[in-house]
Structure 1
Amino acid sequence: MYLGWKLAEKGHQVTVFEKKEKIGKEACSGLFSERILEFIPESRKLIQNQINSVLIHWVAGGWRPKCTLKINFSRKFFAMSHFELDNLVAELAENSGAKIILNHPVSSLPKEFERIIGCDGANSWVRKSLGLKEPQFRLGIQGFLSQSNNSNFVETWQVNQGFIWKIPRGIEIEYGIISDSKEAKLLFDNFLEKNNLHLERINSGVIPQGLIIPSNQKITLCGDAVGLTKPWSGGGVVWSLIAANILLKNFPDFLKYQKEMKKFFLPKIIFSKIATKIIYFLGYNFPWILPKDYKIEGDFLL
């Protein structure tokens, strides 16, 4: 929706095909760095809570922490509803002249448009129709506890290929997991049982990770369709907005967009994968090496 909004603002005729009957992503933790306000200033009214740090727990049997690392964010994070954010941006897009057609899944590439941008999610039909490889996938599951909590930190518990999280959202608490799709539900259920947690509004969705952009002058991809998420957290909103701005800067030259995307994101993806593996390894094997209090830039680990 962000691309549709900004392209319409630039005077382009924009049509957005939304496969669902209503706008809004529900299976998303909605934890964004303050950069979100640089892209969508109007989203300030959606802030539910402010997050300044994270406690990362490496656990032994029974989910008992064997090591805990506190990481402070150099730029604070905000808890927001992704569903409400999507609807806010859709309203901005329509007010700027974009045409949004709901309940319209695409089963063939329309020929009447000069440019086509596939922003159709992790299981992108546009990506598949171009014969491109699939990104790597993990499964995300989330649920909510009806208990108010305005703490300014989140907690995570490390698991295979991911982590379980706890996010205080003001009026409620969110718990979730990102992990291998075969293990995620079993791990999450075990964690909830051990901690006597009974969640409401359970959602789930696949989380991609990759950088898959076609060499095509007429058709390209953006966002989850590219697989563009942070390797350490699975979050993708701010990275997708940065990618959208790269596309807007180079529009309508999709090949220049592809080149600049790889130049900007590929080093960050490689670095963050290596850094994540090192930190996980140290936490499990040499926890005394890790500092007890550390500061990072939450979108780029620097």
Structure 2
Amino acid sequence: MKDIIIIGAGPAGNIVAEKTAEAGLDVLVLDWRQIIGDKLCTGIIGKECLDKFPPREEDIFHEVKSATLISPNNKTYRITRSNTQAAILNRVSYIQSFANKAKKYGAKYDLEHRVTEIKQNTDHISIKAKYKEVLKTYKCKLLIISSGFNTPLLRMVGIETHNNKSLMGSQIEVEVEKPLETQVYFGKEISPGSFGWLVPLSKSRALLGVISKEKTQENIKYFLNKLINEGKILDLNYNIKSWGIPISPINKTYKNRILITGDAAGLTKPTTGGGIYYSLLSGQLAAKTSIEAIKSNNLSENKLKEYQSAWKNIFGKEISISHYSRLFFETLNDEQIEKIISLGFEFQKELINESDFSFDWHSKVILKAFKIKKMRESLMKLVPIIPSILLKK
């Protein structure tokens, strides 16, 4: 019997495997994919994530110091910082680097194994997984579910799923006419209630994408044609890919002998849908709780709930404020978005200084917008109904 079985070899699952194997535990990772880290994602991480979980130099496509916002009326607003704010990564290689460390410490990986059954017993968890036509059975003391958004494994263990608390993302890798910097686009034709992006990978390649609560296929086609007509990208045959993104945590991320991490737990940034950093943080916290639980032979809910308390303490409030900010933004029409972007740049010096701005933590800037008296008054005239959490002093 294994000490820990982790289902899902993404950022959360791999860092749990790395840290628990390093602590001397017997660890197995199961994943249905053939290639570790092969998931639709823009691959952007912020400065804090770069510092805490540094990628290899060869995994960095592009560092970000500036970005251009394009409003619904096609006006451009440029944000520039003196230091690197984020980096665009080769996501597959970056996520594989954590798996390689886990393997070095003794963790085992069974890829192309799709879990079909999870049974909770008094003294262990039993798992059935299908590899090609072979059905295998595993046992473990503790199960970590890190298998991504809307995973059916939560239903297998009797934990609620995300229901409608999610977004849909669509993305294409495109060829660009000339080198560019990160661009963020707003407007209902591109992405109702959200935004689209054009993110450089190299001098000639970029990722074009949108996220929204609505179906995104038609929006990304409109966006693609718009940028082709503007001469920003080449008119070629592109393959559109889509994926789901949680924007709110599930209520309970633990159970007897079970922890849930990363996207499976809904631990992403609701404002942007970014999940790599919060997945890595939640994986670290789950690893700490797991090591303590295994070594003390206490795998009860009462012990494992320490994991949920830990992640709530670090980014629970951040997720809550960002979630309400997203709900607020989704109510705006293009005219209101246009005015809010203009207002933000009018108060840019007060709103976004070097110490306050963070790619990974958005709540400080969001709340500051409602604390600057003139900006608060302008926002309340523009949008009379604002969530109370954003108005707290």
TM-score (norm. length: structure 2): 0.69
Distance 2:69 2:327 in 1: 14
Asked if 1:284 corresponds to 2:353, the answer is no
Mark the CA change 1:278 to 1:57 in structure 2 (over 3 Å): closer, same or farther: farther
Q: Structure 1: how far apart are the matches of 2:53 and 2:196?
A: 28
Change (3 A) 1:102 1:96: same
Q: Structure 1 residues 11 and 201 mapped into 2: Cα distance closer, same or farther (>3 Å)?
A: farther
Residues 273/53 of structure 1: CA separation in 2 closer, same or farther (3 Å cut): farther
1:260-271 equivalence runs, <5 A: 260-271=310-321
Alignment of 1:152-231 (within 5 A): 153-158=181-186, 159-171=191-203, 172-182=205-215, 184-196=216-228, 197=233, 198=235, 200-212=238-250, 213-231=252-270
SS in 2 for 1:160: coil
Q: d(CA) in 2 for partners of 1:38 and 1:83?
A: 19
How far the C-alpha of 1:92 sits from its partner, in A, is 1.7
Once the 2 structures are TM-superposed, how far is the Cα of residue 248 of structure 1 from its aligned partner? 2.4
SS of the residue 1:105 aligns to: strand
Question: Do the aligned partners of 1:208 and 1:227 also contact (CA within 8 Å) in 2?
Answer: yes
- 1: CA distance, partners of 2:35 / 2:342: 50
CA contact (8 A) 1:16 1:98 kept: yes
- Residue identity in the other structure for 2:345: P
Structure 2 partner of 1:58: 71
Corresponding residue number in structure 2 for 1:76:
85
Identity of aligned residues (%): 23
Please give the root-mean-square deviation of Cα atoms over the aligned residues, in Å.
2.5
Aligned-pair CA distance for 1:19: 0.9
Q: Secondary structure at the match of 1:204?
A: strand
Displacement of 1:86: 2.1
Distance 1:147 1:9, change over 3 A: same
Alpha-carbon distance in 2 for matches of 1:150, 1:67: 17
Q: Is the 8 A contact 1:14 1:98 kept in 2?
A: yes
Corresponding position: 1:115 with 2:108: no
Counterpart residue identity of residue 147, structure 2: D
Q: 1:45 aligns with which of 27, 43, 58?
A: 58
Q: 1:202 to 1:73 in 2, by over 3 A?
A: farther
Write out aligned runs for 1:5-16 (5 A).
5-16=18-29
By how many angstroms is 1:122 displaced?
A: 0.5
- Following superposition, the deviation at residue 150 of structure 1 comes to 5.3
State whether structure 2 residue 100 is matched by structure 1 residue 91.
yes
Residues 188-212 of structure 1 show CA distances to partners (whole Å, capped at 9, x for unaligned) of: 1111112224464533211112212
Question: Which of the residues 344, 353, 360 maps onto 1:299?
Answer: 360
Q: Which amino acid aligns with 1:119?
A: S
Q: Could you tell me which of 26, 29, 54 is aligned with 2:39?
A: 26
1:132 aligns with 2:126: no
Contact 2:55 2:94 in 1 (8 A): no
| Count of residues in correspondence between the two structures | 296
Residue ranges of structure 1 left out of the alignment (5+ in a row) = none
Q: Note if contact 1:73-1:298 (Cα within 8 Å) is conserved in structure 2.
A: no
Deviation, 1:249, is 2.7
Farther off after superposition, 256-265 or 93-102: 256-265
User: Could you tell me whether the CA contact under 8 Å between 1:207 and 1:234 is conserved in 2?
Assistant: yes
Deviation at 1:215? 4.1
Contact 1:149 1:169 in 2 (8 A): no
For residues 133 and 206 of structure 1, what CA distance do their matches in structure 2 show? Answer: 17
Task: State the Cα deviation string for residues 230-274 of structure 1 (Å, max 9, x = none).
Answer: 011100100111112222232234210012222332211122234
Structure 1 residues 164, 244: CA separation in 2 closer, same or farther (over 3 Å shift)?
Answer: same
CA contact (8 A) 2:72 2:337 kept: no
- Report how far residue 71 of structure 1 moved: 6.6
2:287 corresponds to 1:254: no
Q: Highest relative contact order (Cα 8 Å, sep 6+), 1 or 2?
A: 1
The alignment partner of 1:190 has SS state of helix
**Structure 1 residue 142 and structure 2 residue 174: aligned?**
no
Residue ranges of structure 2 left out of the alignment (5+ in a row)? 1-13, 119-124, 127-138, 294-302, 365-393
